[in-house]
Structure 1
Amino acid sequence: MSGTLGRRLLVPGSALLWGLQFAVLVPSLALLLVALYDATPSQVGWVLGVYNGAGFVAALVVPAWADRRGDYLVPMLGCSALTLLLAVALWWVTGLPGAVVALVVLGAPAGVGVSLLFAHLRHEGAGTAQVTRVRAVVSFAWIAGPPLATFLIATAGERALLPALAVLAVLNGATTAAMVRHRRRRTAEGLPATSAPDDAIPVSRSGVALVTLGFVLLQAANATVVSVMALFTTRGLGLDVVWSGVALGVAAAAEIPALLLLGRLGSRVSDLALVVSGSAVGVVYFALMTVVSGPAGLVAVQLLNAWTFAVIAGTGLGLFQRIITRPGLASGLYANTRRLGGVVSGPVIGLGGATAWGYGAAFLVCAGLTVLGVVLVVVALRTARTTATA
């Protein structure tokens, strides 16, 4: 009984560790560059740009390679080892050029681990509902990770993040190794191999491109909210900056039950209907953000934001795995929609700051991006279903 329970905890345990691993590193990376390598603000900007560019490439290349092998766990072990080497390298190097090399060569491919986990789930027969539930565990890790990093910095300094990252990498490697042993044991016992569920949506390459573009726009709207919240709260509403943290914290916390609810709804409601619902709620949220005037309203409307992002994060990932038959490529391409969305969010924030409406105008642009994004997704999927039934 305990062995069965242990096996059932392997996947959520792995999701928690992968989430913590990068929830500790990513929000603190700029601070590490400044504290350990005396990087200037402009240097921080280009280093993060190079690092994210390398991550974009790795998110396509590594999962595609895993698709050809039909194995996602061994590459995950490699990602854990690369994370450990990254922590050692960042501890050892003394200059910014060495740190950049470590981030590009080690950090970028190491960051693909969580995409490989979701590819493994799909390969082993998980549907959208299970993927969404596991995604909720990753969201929990991103709530716990930044406070953990802050605590370590406050008590032991910025360098303390690197041993913590190394410990997480070792634990992640141990969890993944246990998953590998479990799979080999099943094979040795002659148990039937699992395979991806038969729920694929036949979509052409142009349809996949439309869905991808649609999700880039949806992700851009969400990235804008995260980036502009502090400016909007302080300069738009005249509130203390702490309220921006409260608002984003409420949205992040509410995202977990929203993802769990989506996991239940996923078997009864189509992915397209859920994406449309999330987008519709998002448009209402963006509209309300332009008229809120106090902290109570600001915090309350974040419940709508939580539902919108839960749909994008959970149902969106599952949808990509249904329209792209290669699980690794599907997960990697979905991960890159978030990276590209972050790039698009920059001009949106700049536009808001340059208008007479102030940063509230950014939310109106986000509403437009959301409408355009969901229209592209609907057109692609409706066209695919019409073609399939013709």
Structure 2
Amino acid sequence: MHPTKTGGLRIFMDGSVTRLAAATAMIGVGGAMVVPTVSLFLSDVIGATPLMIGAFVAGRAVAEISADLGVGVLSDRLGNRRLVLAVCSVFAAAGALSYFTLRDYWLLLVCSAVFFGLGGTTFPQLYAYTREFAEARDHPVTFFSSTLRSVTSLAWILGPPLAFGLIAAVGFGNMYLVAAALYLGGALICFWGLPDVSRRKAPAVVDGPGAAAVEAGAPGAVATEVRAPAPVGSPFAGLTPKVKALLVVIVLLITVNCMYAIDIALFITKDLGFDAGFTGLVLGLASALEVPAMVYIGAKADRLGHWRVIMGAALCATLFFCLLPLATTKLALLLLQIPNALWTAVAMSIPVTVLQDSMPDRPGVASSLYSSAFKTGIFLGGILTGLIAQWVGFTNVFWACAALSAAALLSMLLRRKA
């Protein structure tokens, strides 16, 4: 007997959903404090060049890609995803503590790759756990996943302004100490506050002439062969051309999102001459707009069509990055956060649902494939941002973002035509 299907914000009346949202929020705020401040931290405190900053981000991304795929396969076999979430969150806390204590570039690079490499798997595992939770409680999967993903966007409303405010008040080190405490709080909730929604062992598959009769419950029916589903070890096994095409689009869109995240603080403070606090306001506004967009699009995506929605996001990203280099006033930057929020709301929520739908028996692997494509985008974004900023400046990074967004849109149009 299944629980009553619920929708809308009534799902938060469930205490387990509230704790899941709290863990997502704490881990999300921690990430929203670390990610947008790293480039400024490396530039102002460590004395890194743009190329070194790009290499730093790329090195961490390579470690996270390897960890994502390994942890994704392992988590599906273990079943207890709560333990995986808690351990990964502890590693993320260790990464933030390394930023608190260390000031050598190369030592920071190694510690960031190791600790955040494993800690970065927290989010794909949260996606997988959210999927399993929705199915166990009979919630609409796309809406539920998008709603929980919007909690991360809410975290990004608070995180960047809080981070830059703490930097101004108590410095980078103490700000990263606060981020570490948030990661640890999320780990505690994951381990002790979330219910076990792991899937039960899949039933045996019946083959042979008697299979149909056995399914129908016919008396005296005998199956000629009973076999369990074959375990899949490789995360890339069984991927369809459509899934592979989607992974390419994800890589391109996340590449430009990473380039934006690395470059925006440097663009605002170095090229435009505005203060760091305004950077926090810009990032916070984008996330504030992203939340209602994500919830609305998540509720309508099944009717509109997932691929159509993703194509619209690629078009919106192209327009945004064409206009961003031309923005020289605070008002223009703030207004441009509207298209920024729209395309980001789609790119950060809908593709993972499409992948999970394509691999219903492997939610951990599906989420890890998404996260690995995500981290591949971060790797490429780090390298490209470092090279472009080093050679032609921070502003011109956004023209490259526009070209990559257009390439994502073109690849989807070609696939649709084919």
**TM-score, length of structure 2 as denominator length:** 0.71
Sequence identity percentage: 23
Give, in whole Å, the separation in 2 of the partners of 1:64 and 1:185: 14
1:370 to 398, 405, 408: 405
Written as runs of structure 1 = structure 2, the 5 A alignment for 1:140-151 is 140-151=154-165
Distance 1:106 1:41, change over 3 A: same
Give, in whole Å, the separation in 1 of the partners of 2:65 and 2:412: 22
Give the SS at the match of 1:305.
helix
**What's 1:6 paired with?**
15
1:281 paired to 2:294? no
**What's 1:114 paired with?**
123
Give, in whole Å, the separation in 1 of the partners of 2:253 and 2:106: 35
Of structures 1 and 2, the larger Rg is shown by 2
Q: Deviations over 1:132-167 (max 9, x none)?
A: 111111112123123333344444444434543443
Distance 1:378 1:140, change over 3 A: same
Q: Deviations over 1:32-55 (max 9, x none)?
A: 7799xx855267665544333212
Distance 1:80 1:229, change over 3 A: closer
Give, in whole Å, the separation in 1 of the partners of 2:129 and 2:109: 30
Q: Which amino acid aligns with 2:48?
A: P
Q: Which amino acid aligns with 2:154?
A: F
Please list every run of 5 or more consecutive structure 1 residues that lacks an aligned counterpart in the other structure: 188-202, 384-390
Provide the alpha-carbon RMSD of the alignment: 4.0
Say if 1:258 and 1:306, in contact at 8 Å, map to a contact too. yes
1:347 paired to 2:360? no
Give, in whole Å, the separation in 2 of the partners of 1:299 and 1:92: 35
Q: Which amino acid aligns with 2:145?
A: V
1:337 paired to 2:337? no
Give, in whole Å, the separation in 1 of the partners of 2:79 and 2:338: 39
1:70 paired to 2:106? no
Q: Higher helix share goes to which structure?
A: 1
1:270 paired to 2:305? yes
2:146 to 105, 112, 132: 132
Aligned residues: 361
Please list every run of 5 or more consecutive structure 2 residues that lacks an aligned counterpart in the other structure: 1-9, 201-237
Say if 2:356 and 2:363, in contact at 8 Å, map to a contact too. yes
Written as runs of structure 1 = structure 2, the 5 A alignment for 1:1-390 is 5-29=14-38, 39-41=46-48, 47-86=56-95, 102-124=111-133, 125=135, 127-161=141-175, 163-180=177-194, 182-183=195-196, 204-229=239-264, 240=274, 246-289=281-324, 294-325=329-360, 326-345=362-381, 346-347=383-384, 363-377=398-412
Query: Deviation at 1:185?
Result: 12
**TM-score, length of structure 1 as denominator length:** 0.75
Give, in whole Å, the separation in 2 of the partners of 1:88 and 1:244: 24
Query: Deviation at 1:265?
Result: 1.3
Give the SS at the match of 1:41.
coil
Distance 1:249 1:78, change over 3 A: closer
Give, in whole Å, the separation in 1 of the partners of 2:129 and 2:244: 23
Say if 2:58 and 2:379, in contact at 8 Å, map to a contact too. no
**What's 2:215 paired with?**
none
Say if 1:73 and 1:117, in contact at 8 Å, map to a contact too. no
Give, in whole Å, the separation in 2 of the partners of 1:98 and 1:137: 33
Query: Deviation at 1:351?
Result: 5.5
Query: Deviation at 1:66?
Result: 0.7
Distance 1:288 1:169, change over 3 A: closer
Say if 2:251 and 2:374, in contact at 8 Å, map to a contact too. yes
Q: Deviations over 1:242-280 (max 9, x none)?
A: 766654443232111211211221342211121122222
Distance 1:380 1:68, change over 3 A: farther
Distance 1:380 1:49, change over 3 A: same
Query: Deviation at 1:59?
Result: 1.6
Q: Deviations over 1:148-207 (max 9, x none)?
A: 333444444444345434432332122112344x338999xxxxxxxxxxxxxxx84443
Query: Deviation at 1:6?
Result: 2.1
